Structure 1
Amino acid sequence: MEIPSISDQTRQQHAASFGAAADAYRRGRPPYPRAAVEWLVPETARDVVDLGAGTGKFTEQLVAAGFEVVAVEPSAGMREQLAAAVPGVAVHGGTAEHIPLPDASADAAVMAQAWHWVKPETAIPEIARVLRPGGTLGLVWNIRDLTEPWVAELDDVMHEHTREEMDTAPELGGPFEQLERTEIRWRHTLTRAELLDMVASRSYVIVLPASERDELLGNVAELLNSHPDLADHEELTLPYVTRCTRAVRR
């Protein structure tokens, strides 16, 4: 059975759903490889804006790299998790389309696992407004590596109801040039409970009726208990491909 891609209206509903599962998001979503931070943000940058910062998964790595970071996130529930996880960072409500910062106030802007939710025609000029000339825009996604057989089976279970489509190699244009891309392959170790939280924090799972959500999570648990590569393993190793895009403001 072919599962249709989600509509624009449904996509907006999904984008607004994360606050309801902010705690699961924080527990279950993977971090990002340090190499992604190093590739996306120039060493010469000082002030960095993390847009769609979520629960701070990428924010904390920017802070660890020594940057002055301002986080912008639309969901109050996600901002609460972020403030607890990365104390001392300035956190503002806002979006990539409406950034509550002055003109030319940042050397770099990043979006981790979030660009597919924005309206590029509005977000691109707004991000350019906040960046200083020569500033960098970096986009990054953690994508599960489906070349691993059990991960492909997990993906089928997760997308039983809805197939999520994401463009992880977007064009930017307009005020941005010198577009570059790279991929980083790595592996994330997590517990069974954290993997279930990762599944539960997906927008298309959050918005399911409770009975369907419970059924899906039960099917994931069954896979973990029955698959020969996973059974009797309390810790799992989940392979990822981190896809990065960067461009420079003219």
Structure 2
Amino acid sequence: MDQDEQLLHASSFGAAAVQYAEHRPDYAQNAVRWALEPAPGPRVLDLGAGTGKLTATLVALGAEAVAVEPDPAMLAELHRSLPGVRALPGSAEGIPLPDASVDAVLAGNAMHWFDMAVAGPEIARVLAPGGILAGLWNLMDDQVEWVAGLARVSGSAAVGPRDTPAAWRAATTGMHLPKNGAAARFGSPEQAEFPHGQRRTADSLVATLATRAGMLVMPEGERGEAVGRIRGYLAGVPETARGEFSLPMRTGVLRVRRV
């Protein structure tokens, strides 16, 4: 994906902020606990916070959470759903917080949008010594046969890089983490995965997939065809054809410590 295409995808979510807030899955609490386990204190920045899916989990776990999000529509949804959380406009490349002001920086389904050459020093700047940077990704568990079939039918726009465990491992194993300069020093990355599930119907799963960037930027006719294929598949699979079901998922976590 070239730089212009990346920007187009990254900026696509605001138009679907309400749907994103309603349909995107939450994060497994044990995954968030693992991400925070080595943090030196309770102050946590949710960076690229979107509508606050990860922020809500941080609050539930008792963290002192602050959220930063560049898109005004996404930020408005976060304010609406979590009015007690401090939520600021800003980006990974320009974080509106003082030096050493947080003990951990977490990013939920967002780190792949960051320009880490710029964001790395910024994240290191706001982290206290020994602080944690962690990216979390919600993954559809394609070890389950019907989920693997859905991935094949949906195509990469709806189920793409990092959206299944094998793809996430491949994408993040070599992910560029900041090593440049004294202000951007991080230790060796650690990975872990945590199973969980989300209650869905065929309609709500289609709505979830429709909030993926690849779907949002599709021409309307092409998007309609993709949605039609997904609906047809879900209607023909016993696990998803009748009422509510559990979508098997994993939360993948990539964690590094500031040194």
Q: TM-score, normalised by structure 2?
A: 0.88
8 Å contact from structure 2 (residues 202, 235) kept in 1: no
* Paired AA for residue 85 in structure 2: V
Q: Which residue is equivalent to 2:255? A: 246
* Paired AA for residue 252 in structure 2: R
Structure with greater proportional helix content: 2
Q: Deviation string for 1:114-162 (max 9, x for gaps)?
A: 1111111111111000011111111111111112122122212322668
Q: Which residue is equivalent to 1:109? A: 105
Q: Deviation string for 1:59-106 (max 9, x for gaps)?
A: 001011111111001111111111112121111111111101111111
Is 1:124 matched up with 2:120?
yes
Is 1:168 matched up with 2:172?
yes
Q: Which residue is equivalent to 2:206? A: 196
Q: Which residue is equivalent to 1:150? A: 146
Alpha-carbon separation, structure 1, partners of 2:231 and 2:145:
17
8 Å contact from structure 1 (residues 27, 197) kept in 2: no
Q: Which residue is equivalent to 2:246? A: 237
Q: Which residue is equivalent to 1:136? A: 132
Q: Deviation string for 1:170-217 (max 9, x for gaps)?
A: 352521114322111222222223211111100010111112112211
Correspondence list, 1:17-32, <5 A:
17-32=12-27
What's the % identity of the aligned pairs?
Answer: 41
Is 1:159 matched up with 2:155?
yes
Alpha-carbon separation, structure 2, partners of 1:22 and 1:218:
22
Q: Which residue among 215, 223, 228 is the counterpart of 1:213?
A: 223
CA-based RMSD: 1.8
* Paired AA for residue 36 in structure 1: A
Whose relative contact order is higher, 1 or 2, with alpha carbons under 8 Å and at least 6 apart? 1
Q: Deviation string for 1:26-79 (max 9, x for gaps)?
A: 122111111011101137522110001011110001011111111001111111
* Paired AA for residue 189 in structure 2: L
* Structure 1 portions without partners, runs of 5+: 1-5
Alpha-carbon separation, structure 2, partners of 1:162 and 1:65:
30
Q: Which residue among 4, 8, 11 is the counterpart of 1:13?
A: 8
Alpha-carbon separation, structure 2, partners of 1:115 and 1:68:
21
> Which stretch of the first structure deviates more once superposed, 140-149 or 174-183?
174-183
Residues 7 and 155 of structure 1: CA distance in aligned 2, closer, same or farther (over 3 Å) = farther
Alpha-carbon separation, structure 2, partners of 1:160 and 1:14:
13
Residues 75 and 149 of structure 1: CA distance in aligned 2, closer, same or farther (over 3 Å) = same
Q: Deviation string for 1:211-232 (max 9, x for gaps)?
A: 2112211221111211233222
Q: How many residues in Structure 1 have an aligned counterpart in Structure 2?
A: 244
Correspondence list, 1:9-88, <5 A:
9-42=4-37, 44-88=40-84
Residues 11 and 158 of structure 1: CA distance in aligned 2, closer, same or farther (over 3 Å) = farther
Deviation at 1:163, TM superposition (A): 7.3
8 Å contact from structure 1 (residues 27, 194) kept in 2: no
8 Å contact from structure 1 (residues 28, 196) kept in 2: no
